[in-house]
Each structure stands twice: as structure tokens, then as C-alpha cells.
Amino acid sequence: MGKVIEVNDVTLAFSVQCQPELEGVNLSVTEGEFVCLVGPSGCGKSTLLRLVAGVLTPDRGEIKVGGAEKAEGWSHLSFVPQDSLLLPWRTVLANVLLPFELNSGQEKKAEWRAKAQAALRLVNLDGVEQKYPHQLSGGMRQRVALARALVGEAEILLLDEPFASLDGITRSQLQLEILEIRQQKQFTGLMVTHNIFEAVFLADRVVVMGEKPGRMLGEVGIDLPYPRQLKLISTPEFAALVGTVQDFLEKGGSADEA
Amino acid sequence: MRRKKRLQPGSGGERAITLLGVGLLVLLTWSWLSSFYPTYILPSPSEVARRAREILGQGGLFALHFRTTLLEAVLGFGLAAAVALPLSYCLARHPRLDHLVTPIVVAMQSIPIVALAPLLVIWFGFGISSKILIAAMTAFFPILTNGVVGLKETDPRLKELLQIMGAGKRQVFFKLEVPSALPVLFGGLRMGLTLSVIGAVVGEFSGAGRGLGYLVYLARGTFDTALIFVAILALAVMGIGFYLVISWVEAVVMPWRRER
């Protein structure tokens, strides 16, 4: 299993006066792995995701995605943002077709359509193809964003707090769906969240970040068995792992004040 | 589906009844008020209707005036849009150009078109070309400013997302920037179309041989107040026509806003 995301000693400052946003950050993700980044808000975890996505360049250090020096299009990676970011003037189907339109010629329309429909089925959306985003609930919109990210057969999925703006019930539904999709489809995942429970529930490995400057505090391997069910969160093993992550966060916080 | 929607409260049917009621009320009040004044100050509705029938009977004379103003407004609007839209794209794209040009635009905008109109008539003659120019200048600024604002409206997060998906500059422009500008852009076009009618009439006031504005000018000279009312009503009809046309175009171009 090769490494598909490699972040080596990356430092980034948005301006010279400020403290760097990220300092000496290292991270690697192997193929097929699902890694969650947790940390307090403002610790630069979303910035790290944008660096991996290739829309920011580091001041120092290097980032390798899919073996290449920099991210190049959806053949390598796709992105699920926090609040779906669907194009409001496109129907659900047209939104899911967008990655194809941006990356290949017009000739394979029928094939795209079939793939888009399959992606929508994968996220349990049926009969909403011709609806506009504003006609859907927040959870459904987020499902469309997920389908859009999955449709292009991207190897790497970057998720930026994808469930943060959803209500609790919808949130756990979608968490279960992510786990289920991982059973059906092979991809590498890097997800940012500030919810420790969510991170432990979904990830193979949880990476803990601290703030000011954004840096790595440690990581916790999550060796809970698949398939995972909701009742997992009431087991002592789960609680112990959450406790370990919590410890890293607290240690990081106290070191900062000292 | 659409027919069914029309019968629901708050849409077509109810609106028509409300309009009819308000119209009737205005007519009654007008008719009552007109009994206190001589015809050359306030003609009664029936007097206006009589005058309208009279001038419409004069072998296409009124239609000629109507067509002239219509043509001036439409061509003026077209000219304004043809210049303002590409310019707004340039200004939105190049902030430094925007910095240079915006003060000039603001300065020009603050010159009342009524003061410029006689000058343009002197330069470009009594014919339709000077009116088209005046109409275009009146319609120009809202189209330009809304175009710039609209094109700057793009959500930067969406732009970033499209770039992650592998979109090039051209694709970002056509698939993101243009569609997200459309609602604001159409606001400007709507305003510009209304203003172009005003511009055409102002131009005709400053010197013309035909057009509804010329008709008002003529009627004022002979105290033919009923004819002024006829011309005003014709301008209102033209305005409503423009409104309906642009609403239809909007619905075709932006189908996603229809089902809100």
C-alpha cells in the first residue's frame, strides 16, 4: 500500500506579521485509509485540507498527492465542503454531472448520466434528479455534494467538516452512509472535523492538531472492527479511544499556555 | 402544472382581480374629480377615451408616433447593453481599470440627461439617432454598475471548489461567474429598459418631429390635455409590454428561480 497523501514539514503564514497558520506539519495517508483531522477551530485543519487540494501553496515544505508533486484535477481527488456548495442554477443531476463536464469531452454523455445516477443511488437519493438545490433539505444537499465527489471515480476524497451544519439525526444517518459507501467503493479519505466522536466513529486513524500555530499533537489508531454500527459508541473500547484523543487535545492546550 | 398554479391564491387570478378593482377605483375618483375642473386642466376619462379614438382613427398617425418611441427605446437599450455588458466584464476582471474608470463613470452619471439632451440634438440632428443616443446614455449606467456588481458576486468558495474539480478560467467564467451574475445583471437590464423609454421621451422633448414625447410637447402647446393623457397611457402600455417581455426572458434564462 503506497502513500497517496504526503505532507512534509509544511509551514504556511498568511502574512508576515502573524503567527504562522501551520508550522512544521507532517501527515501521510496510505491508500484506502480514512483519516480524520480533529482540533479546535482555528487550528488550521481546513487550511491543511486546502493545501492538499492544491488551492494553496505552502511557504515551506512539500505536499505530494497521488505520488505527484501537486494535485491535478479530479482524477486524483475530489472535495466535499461544509455547506454542500451546489450550483443553485443547476438541477441535482446537472450538479453531479459537473465534474465530468469540466474534465472530459462531450461524447460520453449517456455514460456520464448513468454514472451520476449510480452515484445518487449510492448516497440514497432517489427521484430528486430534476429538483433544484433550494428545494432540498440540508441533509439531502449534503448527499448531493457527496455524490458529486464520488461520481468521478476520484481516488482521494477530501471532506471539510461535511456534517457540521446538519442536525444530529441527519448527521448520524450520513455518518453511517459514509461507512457503508466505504464498504462498496474504494477510496482514500481525509476528513476534517471538530467532533471527536465523529472522528473516532468514522476513521481508521485520528490525527490531533493544536492551535497557534497549527501543528500536529499526535495520532491515535482506531482499530475498531468494520462494519461499524451506532451501538459501537456505547462500548468501552470506543470511550477509551475518545479519551485518548481528548488527552492529546488537552495536553496541547496546556503546553500552549505554559 | 402551471395552469393549476395560476388559480392558487396569491398568483395570476387574484392579482388580476386586484388590478381590476384598483383600476376601477382610480377611474371613478378621476371621473369625479374631473367634474370640478375644465377639460384643459383635467379631462374626464370619457373625454380622454374620445380623444384616443379620434387620433387612432387618423390613419396610422398615432401608431407612427408610438413606433418611433418604441424603436428609439429598444435601439437605445440595445446600444447601452452592447457597450455596458462587455465593459462591466472588463471592470470586474481588472480591479485597476475599475479604479481608474469608476470615478469617470460616477461623474458622468451625475450629469442630468435632461441637460445633455439639447446638446445631443444639436450634434446629431432632429432625427431618431440623437434619441437613440440619449436613450442609450440613460439606460447605460444601471446596466454597467449591476454588471460589475453581479460579476463580482461570485462566491469565492464555489470558485475554489471548481478549481479543485479541475476547471479552467474559461469554464469558471461560463459555468460559474456568468450564471451567478444573472440575477443582478437582469436587475440592471430591467432598470435600463425602463430608463431607455424615459430617455427617448426626454430626447423627443428637446426637439423632434415624431414620437410620443413629441406628441406630449405638441399637445401642451395647444392645451390639448386629453391628448397628453392619451400619450401617457400609451407610454404606460409600452412600459408594461417591456416589463412582460423581460420577465419572460428572465424566466427562460433562469428557470431555477421560477420554482422558488
Q: Are the beta carbons of A98 and B165 separated by less than 8 Å?
A: yes
CB B83 within 8 A of CB B72: no
- Residues whose CB is less than 8 angstroms from the CB of residue B12 and which lie 6 or more positions away in sequence, other chains included: B6
pLDDT tens for chain A, residues 1 to 258? 578 888 888 888 877 666 778 888 888 888 889 999 998 887 888 888 888 888 888 888 888 887 554 444 445 778 999 888 999 999 999 999 988 888 876 667 888 888 888 889 888 888 888 999 999 988 899 999 989 988 877 788 899 998 888 888 888 888 898 888 888 888 889 999 988 899 888 888 989 888 777 878 888 888 888 888 888 888 888 888 888 888 888 887 544 443
Q: Where are the alpha helices (DSSP H) in A54-195?
A: 92-103, 109-122, 138-151, 168-184
Q: Are the beta carbons of A74 and B165 separated by less than 8 Å?
A: yes
Mean pLDDT of chain B: 89
> If you average pLDDT over residues B137-157, what whole number do you get?
92
CB A248 within 8 A of CB A217: yes
Reported ipTM: the value is: 0.85
Interface with chain A: mutation pick from B154, B159, B160, B165, highest number of A CBs within 10 Å: B165
d(CA B210, CA B139): 21
pLDDT: is B125 or B78 the higher one?
A: B78
How close does chain B come to A148, measured CA to CA in Å?
10
A–B CB contacts, 8 A cutoff, strictly below: 56
Q: Looking at the predicted structure, is the pLDDT value of residue B32 above 70?
A: yes
pTM: 0.78
Q: Are the beta carbons of A102 and B165 separated by less than 8 Å?
A: yes
Give the CATH number of domain A1-72+156-162+187-258; options: 3.40.1370.10, 3.90.226.10, 3.40.50.300, 3.40.50.10540: 3.40.50.300
> What's the distance, Cα to Cα, between the start and end of chain B in Å?
15
Q: Looking at the predicted structure, is the pLDDT value of residue B4 above 60?
A: no
Q: Are the beta carbons of A54 and B158 separated by less than 8 Å?
A: no
Q: Are the beta carbons of B164 and A98 separated by less than 8 Å?
A: no
CB B78 within 8 A of CB B209: no
Q: Are the beta carbons of A81 and B179 separated by less than 8 Å?
A: no
How close does chain A come to B158, measured CA to CA in Å?
6
Q: What is the pLDDT of residues B187-206, one digit of tens each?
A: 999 999 999 999 999 999 98
Question: What local confidence, expressed as pLDDT, does residue B259 receive?
Answer: 58
Please state at what angle helix B178-205 crosses helix B225-253, rounded to 10 degrees. Answer: 170
How close does chain B come to A256, measured CA to CA in Å?
31
Class of domain B59-258: mainly alpha
Spell out the domain ranges in chain B.
Answer: 59-258
How would you list the strands of the sheet with A34-38, edge to edge?
A77-80, A156-160, A188-193, A34-38, A205-210, A215-221
Q: Are the beta carbons of B171 and A102 separated by less than 8 Å?
A: yes
d(CA B116, CA A181): 68
Query: H or E element: which one contains A27?
Result: strand A22-30
Question: What local confidence, expressed as pLDDT, does residue B11 receive?
Answer: 64
Q: Are the beta carbons of B175 and A53 separated by less than 8 Å?
A: no
CB-CB neighbours of A229 under 10 Å: 10
Spell out the domain ranges in chain A.
Answer: 1-72+156-162+187-258, 77-153
Identify all chain B residues contacting A86, using CB atoms and an 8 Å cutoff.
none
Q: Are the beta carbons of A102 and B167 separated by less than 8 Å?
A: yes
d(CA A62, CA B180): 35
Question: What local confidence, expressed as pLDDT, does residue B10 receive?
Answer: 56
In this complex, which of B162, B176, B260 lies closest to A134 when CB atoms are compared?
Answer: B260
Interface with chain A: mutation pick from B164, B178, B260, highest number of A CBs within 10 Å: B164
Query: Chain B residues contacting A, CB < 8 Å?
Result: 155, 157-158, 160-167, 171, 175-176, 179-180, 182, 254, 256, 259-260
Q: Where are the alpha helices (DSSP H) in chain A?
A: 45-53, 92-103, 109-122, 138-151, 168-184, 196-202, 236-257
Identify all chain A residues contacting B160, using CB atoms and an 8 Å cutoff.
50, 55
